[in-house]
Chains A and B, each alone.
Chain A
């Protein structure tokens, strides 16, 4: 597949447009790894493209003494396998 066609598919699917999750707060730390899989069947007359974007995400909430209060973790990239 030519890079032009591939870029057109990416643009059409709008998979790369979304920013990373951010929390604009001093007492929340966020670590995120994004991974995307794109499967495409290009037959000129009929084309099928499927994109999945998943994240491994760790979020940590700190208390007023800057110690861990809560945390949450999701390994979303496992869903791509």
Chain B
């Protein structure tokens, strides 16, 4: 009985080896760029206490998001990038089984947040260039 069971399990090994041999290892690299880059340097273009909302709209265009507050508005500009790498080992012909998937996703944003006072003059701003931290693969 025991030897019959062993034989049966040994019989599965060639089938498993065939599946592994015909399986396909594929690599997929994806890049997503959403929105427009913040091309103007905020340090050069924005003067706290002087630059107005109209000037900001002329320089940077429409913001991605506007937030209204009791003491003035907030404009948010973002540029979003996503890098993904996927390694897949699958058998696509007979069983359509995926044996292994490795996926790495990096998402980074350049963000500019501008706070205005009640008169529409820049009160403060923050800028963070996150897309520079993206690794190539």
- What would be 25 A-B contacts, judged by CB atoms less than 8 Å apart? A9-B30, A12-B30, A18-B34, A21-B64, A21-B65, A23-B65, A25-B66, A28-B66, A45-B25, A46-B28, A47-B26, A48-B29, A48-B30, A50-B32, A51-B30, A51-B31, A51-B33, A57-B62, A61-B57, A69-B54, A70-B54, A72-B56, A72-B57, A72-B60, A76-B36
Measured between alpha carbons, how far is A18 from B33 in the docked complex, in Å? 12
Mark contacts of A25-62 with chain B using CB atoms, 8 A cut-off: 1 yes-contact digit, 0 otherwise: 10010100000000000001111111111110111010
Mark contacts of B2-33 with chain A using CB atoms, 8 A cut-off: 1 yes-contact digit, 0 otherwise: 00000000000000000000001111111111
Contact status A44-B26, CB under 8 Å: yes
Contact status B84-A45, CB under 8 Å: no
Interface residue SS majority, chain A: strand
Contact status A45-B54, CB under 8 Å: no
Indicate whether A66 reaches chain B with its CB closer than 8 angstroms: no
Least CB distance, A47 to chain B, in whole angstroms = 4
With A72-B60, A79-B36 already in contact, the answer to whether A12 and B28 are too (CB < 8 A) is yes
Measured between alpha carbons, how far is A21 from B66 in the docked complex, in Å? 10
Indicate whether A71 reaches chain B with its CB closer than 8 angstroms: yes
Contact status B30-A50, CB under 8 Å: yes
Which chain B residues lie closer than 8 Å to A12 at the CB level? 28, 30, 84, 86
Number of contacting residues on B, CB 8 A? 30
Measured between alpha carbons, how far is A39 from B83 in the docked complex, in Å? 14
Contact status A47-B29, CB under 8 Å: yes
Most chain B beta-carbon neighbours within 10 Å: one of A45, A70, A72, A73: A72
Least CB distance, B107 to chain A, in whole angstroms = 9
Least CB distance, B82 to chain A, in whole angstroms = 7
Contact status A15-B36, CB under 8 Å: no
With A44-B24, A45-B25 already in contact, the answer to whether A73 and B62 are too (CB < 8 A) is yes
